[in-house]
Structure 1
Amino acid sequence: MSTTERTDQRRVPEHRQPESAPARPPAAVGWAYAMVIVATLAAIASNVFEIAHQVETGAAGAATTGDLVLTIAFCALFGYFAEMLRAGRQWGRVLLTIFTSLGLLFTGLGLAGLGGRPLVGPLQASLAVTSLVPSVIGLVLLYVPSVNQWIAQVRDRSRTVSQRMRKAFLTAHVAISVGWLGLVTGMFAMSVSGATTGSAEHQAAMYRTMSMLDEIFLGMTSMFALITGIVVAAGTKWGLLLRTWVAVKFFTTMGVMMLGFAVIHQLILRANELVDEGAPVRGGELDTVGWSMAAAAAVAVLSLVFMTAVSTYKPWGHTRRGRRANARPAARRTSSSR
Structure 2
Amino acid sequence: MSTTDRTTGPQAPKARSDRYPPPTEATATTSPARRGPARGAAEAPPVRPPAAVGWAYAMVIVATTAAIASNVFEIRHQIETNAAGAATTGDLALTTAFCALFGFFAEMLRAGRQWGRVLLTIFTSLGLLFTGLGLAQLGGRPLVGPLQASLAVASLIPSVIGLVLLYVPSVNRWMATVRTGSRTISPRMRKAVLTVHVAVSVGWLGLVTGMFAMSVAGATTHDAAQQAAMYRTMSLLDEIFLGMTSMFALISGIVVSAGTKWSLLRRTWVATKFFLTMCVMVLGFSVIHPLILKANTLVDEGAPVRGGELDDVGWMMSGAALVALLSLILMTAVSTYKPWGLTRWGRAAAGTRTRPVRSPVPEGQS
TM-score by length of 1: 0.95
Question: Quick check: 2:235–2:292 contact (8 Å CA) kept in 1?
Answer: yes
**Count, aligned residues:** 336
Aligned ranges for residues 235-314 of structure 1 at < 5 Å? 235-314=259-338
Partner of 1:120: 144
Task: Spell out the pairing of 1:141-180 with structure 2 (5 A cutoff).
Answer: 141-180=165-204
Paired residues of 2:273 and 2:331 also in contact (CA < 8 A): yes
CA deviation profile, 1:303-336 (whole Å, cap 9, x unmatched):
11111011011111111111110110222x4246
Q: Which residue in 1 is equivalent to 2:37?
A: none
Give 1:10 deviation, angstroms: 4.6
Q: Which has the higher helix share?
A: 1
Compute the displacement of 1:162 (Å).
0.6
Q: Among residues 76, 96, 106, which one is paired with 1:52 in the alignment?
A: 76
Contiguous gaps of at least 5 residues in structure 2: 9-14, 31-43, 362-366
CA distance in 1, matches of 2:59, 2:102: 12
Give the alignment of 1:1-338 within 5 angstroms. 3=3, 10=16, 14-16=22-24, 17=27, 18-19=29-30, 23-331=47-355, 333-335=356-358
**How much is the aligned-residue C-alpha RMSD, in angstroms?**
2.0
Deviations 1:185-222 (A, max 9, x none): 00000000000111111111111111111111111111
- When residues 199 and 79 of structure 1 are mapped into structure 2, their CA distance, relative to the original with a 3 A threshold, is same
Unaligned runs of 5+ in 1: none
CA spacing shift, 1:98–1:10, aligned 2, 3 Å: closer
d(CA) in 1 for partners of 2:141, 2:236: 15
Secondary structure in 2 aligned to 1:49? Answer: helix
1:106–1:116 CA contact under 8 A, matched in 2:
no
Verify the 8 A CA contact 1:62 1:212 in the aligned structure 2. Answer: yes
Give yes or no for contact 1:22–1:154 (8 Å, CA) kept in 2.
Answer: no
Q: Deviations over 1:152-209 (max 9, x none)?
A: 1122111100101100110000000000000000000000000011111111111111
- 8 Å CA contact 1:35–1:138 kept in 2: the answer is yes
Q: Which has the larger radius of gyration?
A: 2
Q: Distance in 1 between matches of 2:345 and 2:358?
A: 21
Distance 1:4 1:133 in 2: 75
Q: What fraction of aligned residue pairs are identical, expressed as a percent? A: 78
Question: Counterparts of 2:149 and 2:359 in 1: how far apart (Å)?
Answer: 58
Q: Distance in 1 between matches of 2:160 and 2:17?
A: 59
